[in-house]
Chain A
Amino acid sequence: MFYIFCPYCGEHREEEEFHPKGQAHLARPENPDDCTDEEWGNFLYFRSNPRGLHHEMWVHAIGCRKFFNVTRDTLTYEIKETYRMGESPQVTQPSDAHTSNFRQSSEATS
């Protein structure tokens, strides 16, 4: 059972107020029409699904109804941090392939 800090409400609330929405920081291709079937399929369906540190989206469905990001360990279920959309995670694993997918990482870290 998770006790999740909503970065918009600024409060911890119980898991039932939230819905998980899958892997975070997936960059939608700029021009979907220019994508090959493989690129588009990868964007729609293929996921990193890590055993360990995972950056994922949640929505505060029965609260402020805003989307935000969570860094969580998928093995221990420990929540490391929550942060707003558009922000970069503080807790990262450099070996994770999907970190290279961060749409805003270049702007946010520079």
Chain B
Amino acid sequence: MQKYSGFGLLKHALTYHENWQRVWRNPKPKKKYDVIIVGGGGHGLATAFYLAKVHNITNVAVVEKGYLGGGNTARNTTIVRSNYLWDEAALLYEHAMKLWEGMSQELNYNVMFSQRGVLNLGHTLQDMRDIQRRVNANRLNGIDSEALDTRGVQEIVPILDCSSNARYPILGASWQPRAGVARHDAVAWGYARAADAMGVDLLQQCEVDDIITEDGAAVGVSTKQHGVIYGDRIGCVVAGNSGVLAKMAGFQLPIESHPLQALVSEPIRPILDTVVMSNQVHGYISQSDKGDLVIGAGIDGYNGYGQRGSYPTVEHTLQAIVEMFPMFSRVRMNRQWGGIVDTCPDACPIISDTPVENLFFNCGWGTGGFKATPGSGHVFAATLARGEANELAKPFSMFRFHNGALVDEHGAAGVAH
């Protein structure tokens, strides 16, 4: 792998940038791998990378039906934070946060991780009590978190409408300074490049149409383009399509797939240097390095696989943004899209073994998976390497929906994703 550096950039400038090496190979699939990862998004590629790097398992294939990082990795609003309420979730997301902090160096790929801070606004007394509780819980878990009052919020974001005349006046916020945003595509590309360099086969345009089982154990996948590929262990990291793969293997998941929409405005001059989220009016916003405002909110409530949603959801999202930032009412929106998110009843992921032996699922990240990309890959790689759940992954077994040990982030933390 050619190392990227400032010097390399200069060197290639002398030859008009015509001699850059291909970023990854386009290999022919082998008959058999130690581990097959289904799904070449951020989480799947991170899993492959950590399998090779941490566990020294390089006979790995990542099977992707489209192109790398073309699903939700390319469709999210790029927010990274770790201020979750419950210990299990907080430790998992904080594990990811620590990996984010060293990621560009580790991958030798600039993922443009910008720790510009995230505000979670409170608009009611109950919001403020919940924020106080969550901030205290975060600090006990060693996560940077502060509770701010209205004035503190206004100091950080002068253009936010903090007046008492607002329909939903801002009473304060939680503030995580280490949180921020990252360049989502670069995360997938960086992991792909580093994994490929260690020998992982990235098989694009290779769609799985069945999971092959023998005596209750998974032994391989059948693909449309390359026939059957065998694997000792199979990890599925397919977000919205998890239910479809589970059905192939003969079981159901406690997951429903929903469209989640996002949109960006026309590019404008730098005006917002942090991330603002509000659960109460339900919208979140940041400004990309290009200058467009990146905006998102909640899911469309119905099941869907169509990678698009309904217009009223977009309208409600923008109502929330204009409620918080009246000055944005005249900004024109440029593009709008949808991704399919796999939502779990307790708004926490599933990193788990399954009723089928040697078949593992990493799914259920719902609306908040991007922030967890490195941590998710790291713990899922450990799970696949050992064949049993990693310590951080243990609370996220799919069987928690049988024994009742849910990690109820949804109701308790009241966090918008």
Q: Which residues on B sit within 8 Å (CB–CB) of A23?
A: 256, 303
Within 8 A of B (CB), among A2-28: 2, 15-16, 19-20, 22-23
Q: Which residues on B sit within 8 Å (CB–CB) of A1?
A: 310-312
Q: Which residues on A sit within 8 Å (CB–CB) of B302?
A: 20, 56, 72
Q: Which residues on B sit within 8 Å (CB–CB) of A62?
A: none
Inter-chain CA distance A48–B254, complex, in Å, is 9
Q: Residue of A at shortest CB range from B316?
A: A16
User: With an 8 A cutoff between CB atoms, is A37 at the interface?
Assistant: yes
**Provided the pairs A45-B254, A45-B345, A47-B255 are in contact, do residues A74 and B303 lie with their beta carbons within 8 angstroms?**
yes
Query: Separation in Å of the B410 CB from the closest CB of chain A?
Result: 13
Q: Which residues on A sit within 8 Å (CB–CB) of B255?
A: 47, 49
User: With an 8 A cutoff between CB atoms, is B404 at the interface?
Assistant: yes
- Write 26 A-B pairs (CB below 8 A) sorted by A numbering: A1-B310, A2-B310, A15-B310, A15-B312, A16-B312, A20-B301, A20-B302, A22-B303, A37-B403, A42-B252, A45-B345, A45-B401, A46-B254, A47-B243, A47-B255, A48-B247, A49-B252, A51-B243, A51-B257, A74-B257, A74-B303, A74-B304, A75-B305, A75-B306, A97-B247, A97-B252
Contact B310 A47 (CB under 8 A): no
Query: Separation in Å of the A62 CB from the closest CB of chain B?
Result: 12
Name B303's contact: one of A38, A42, A46, A56 (CB within 8 Å): A56
Q: Residue of A at shortest CB range from B346?
A: A45
Inter-chain CA distance A42–B302, complex, in Å, is 20
Q: Tell me how many residues of A have a C-beta within 8 Å of chain B.
A: 28
Q: Residue of A at shortest CB range from B406?
A: A45
Inter-chain CA distance A99–B303, complex, in Å, is 17
- Dominant secondary structure of chain A at its interface with chain B: mixed
| Nearest 9 A/B pairs, CB to CB | A49-B243, A45-B254, A41-B402, A20-B302, A45-B401, A20-B301, A46-B252, A51-B305, A41-B401
Inter-chain CA distance A23–B255, complex, in Å, is 12
Query: Separation in Å of the B301 CB from the closest CB of chain A?
Result: 4
Contact B303 A54 (CB under 8 A): yes
Query: Separation in Å of the A97 CB from the closest CB of chain B?
Result: 8
Name B241's contact: one of A2, A20, A46, A51 (CB within 8 Å): A51
Q: Which residues on A sit within 8 Å (CB–CB) of B252?
A: 42, 46-49, 97
Q: Tell me how many residues of B have a C-beta within 8 Å of chain A.
A: 25
Contact B243 A76 (CB under 8 A): no
Q: Which residues on B sit within 8 Å (CB–CB) of A56?
A: 302-303
Contact A77 B304 (CB under 8 A): yes
Within 8 A of A (CB), among B277-311: 301-306, 308, 310-311
Interface residues of B (CB under 8 A from A): 241, 243-244, 247, 252-257, 301-306, 308, 310-312, 345, 401-404
Inter-chain CA distance A6–B287, complex, in Å, is 42
Query: Separation in Å of the B310 CB from the closest CB of chain A?
Result: 5
Q: Which residues on B sit within 8 Å (CB–CB) of A50?
A: 243, 247
Inter-chain CA distance A27–B195, complex, in Å, is 47
Starting from the known contacts A42-B252, A48-B252, A51-B257, 6 additional A-B residue pairs (CB-CB under 8 Å) come to A1-B310, A22-B256, A48-B247, A49-B257, A51-B241, A77-B304
Inter-chain CA distance A54–B305, complex, in Å, is 11
**Provided the pairs A41-B402, A75-B305, A76-B306 are in contact, do residues A47 and B312 lie with their beta carbons within 8 angstroms?**
no
Inter-chain CA distance A110–B303, complex, in Å, is 30
Contact B305 A47 (CB under 8 A): no
Name B401's contact: one of A22, A44, A77 (CB within 8 Å): A44
Interface residues of A (CB under 8 A from B): 1-2, 15-16, 19-20, 22-23, 37-38, 41-42, 44-51, 54, 56, 72, 74-77, 97
Q: Which residues on A sit within 8 Å (CB–CB) of B402?
A: 37-38, 41-42
Name B305's contact: one of A41, A45, A74, A97 (CB within 8 Å): A74
Inter-chain CA distance A49–B401, complex, in Å, is 16
Q: Residue of A at shortest CB range from B304?
A: A74
Q: Which residues on A sit within 8 Å (CB–CB) of B254?
A: 41, 45-47
Q: Which residues on B sit within 8 Å (CB–CB) of A46?
A: 252-254, 401
Inter-chain CA distance A46–B402, complex, in Å, is 10
Contact B312 A74 (CB under 8 A): no
Query: Separation in Å of the A71 CB from the closest CB of chain B?
Result: 12
Inter-chain CA distance A1–B312, complex, in Å, is 8
Q: Residue of A at shortest CB range from B255?
A: A49
Q: Which residues on B sit within 8 Å (CB–CB) of A37?
A: 402-404
Inter-chain CA distance A62–B256, complex, in Å, is 25
Name A48's contact: one of B243, B306, B311, B404 (CB within 8 Å): B243
Inter-chain CA distance A44–B402, complex, in Å, is 9
